[in-house]
């Protein structure tokens, strides 16, 4: 299994540009989520999904959109990039729904810089 | 979710046991204690979790006090590769985790 994969690894955007961060998992996990980590800080939840066609907002959803058309993929879209969105973005997945007690598997991250 | 308190940093000599404490005095009866770690800039890695009983796996042991208000993660024989930030998270479910700033463990020769 490849686990959780994220592309790209690095990205530089100009203010106002849009882009999609890709996340895929091959473990047939129902639950997937996106976090951001700012320098020296812990991770904060952006959006999550409990299955194909179902998404919900996390702690810091503004400026981001998600969709879940398949079990495997959970892309994160930046609508109009701002310097405040400079961060490292992590995707995670796990068995079960929102009440699962199973551990989450994290991807390697995408390092995004907005100038 | 119960609030957790961890020391910002700890040192440990290689080969010795690393004992990382976590206080969670407001934990409720159905909340689990989860431990993750983040090595350098990689994605967080699950270590262990428990509800009431002590738990052990191939990576670590988790000791939860009888009143459940605190816990200790034990790495029995720390190596340089265990240098990381360790996060203690208390939550009913493993989803929608809230990561604080954790404990930065430095393992030295």
> What distance in Å separates the CA atoms of residue B30 and residue B45, rounded to the nearest whole number?
23
First CA to last CA across chain A, in angstroms?
36
Q: A6-15, A62-71, B22-31: which has the minimum mean pLDDT? A: B22-31
Query: B32 contacts in A (CB within 8 Å)?
Result: 101
Quote the pLDDT of residue B92.
80
Residue A2 at interface with chain B, using a CB cutoff of 8 Å:
no
Residue B94 at interface with chain A, using a CB cutoff of 8 Å:
yes
Quote the pLDDT of residue B29.
86
Quote the pLDDT of residue B51.
92
Residue A89 at interface with chain B, using a CB cutoff of 8 Å:
no
Whether residue A115 contacts residue A14, with contact meaning beta carbons closer than 8 Å, is answered with yes
Query: A109 contacts in B (CB within 8 Å)?
Result: 41-43
Quote the pLDDT of residue B58.
95
Quote the pLDDT of residue B37.
97
Intervals of chain B under pLDDT 70: 1, 94
Over residues A70-89, mean pLDDT: 97
Secondary structure (3-state) at A85: helix
Quote the pLDDT of residue A98.
67
Over residues A66-90, mean pLDDT: 97
Cβ of A42 and B87 within 8 Å?
A: yes
Nearest to A58 among B32, B93, B96 (CB): B96
**CA-based torsion, B29, B35, B36, B37: positive or negative:** positive
Produce one character per residue of B61-100: b if its CB has 16 or more CB atoms within 10 Å, e if not. Answer: bbbbeeebebbebbbeebeeebbbbbbbbbbbbbbbbbbe
pLDDT surpasses 80 at A100: no
Nearest CA in chain A to B91: A101
Over residues A65-86, mean pLDDT: 96
Quote the pLDDT of residue A25.
97
pLDDT surpasses 80 at A104: yes
Nearest CA in chain B to A93: B95
pLDDT surpasses 70 at A37: yes
């Amino acid at each position: 299994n490849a686990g959780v994969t994220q592309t790209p690894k690095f990205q530089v955007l100009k203010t106002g540009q849009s882009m999609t961060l890709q996340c895929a998992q091959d473990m047939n996990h129902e639950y997937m989520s996106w976090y951001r980590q700012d320098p020296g800080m812990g991770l904060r939840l952006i959006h999550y999904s409990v299955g194909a066609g179902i998404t919900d907002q996390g702690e810091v959803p503004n400026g981001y959109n998600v969709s879940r058309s398949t079990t495997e993929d959970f892309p994160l879209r930046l609508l109009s990039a701002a310097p405040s969105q400079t961060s490292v973005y992590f995707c995670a997945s796990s068995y079960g729904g929102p009440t699962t007690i199973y551990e989450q598997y994290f991807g390697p991250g995408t390092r995004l810089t907005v100038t | 979710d119960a609030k957790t308190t961890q020391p910002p940093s700890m040192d440990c000599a290689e080969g010795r046991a690393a004992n990382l404490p976590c206080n969670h005095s407001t934990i409720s009866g159905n909340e689990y204690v989860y431990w993750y770690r983040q090595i350098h800039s990689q994605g967080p890695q699950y270590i262990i979790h428990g509800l009431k009983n002590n738990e052990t796996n191939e990576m670590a042991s988790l000791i939860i006090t009888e009143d459940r208000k605190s816990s200790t993660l034990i790495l029995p024989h720390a190596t340089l590769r265990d240098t990381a930030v360790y996060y203690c998270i208390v939550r009913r479910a493993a989803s929608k985790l809230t990561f604080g700033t954790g404990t930065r463990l430095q393992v030295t020769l």
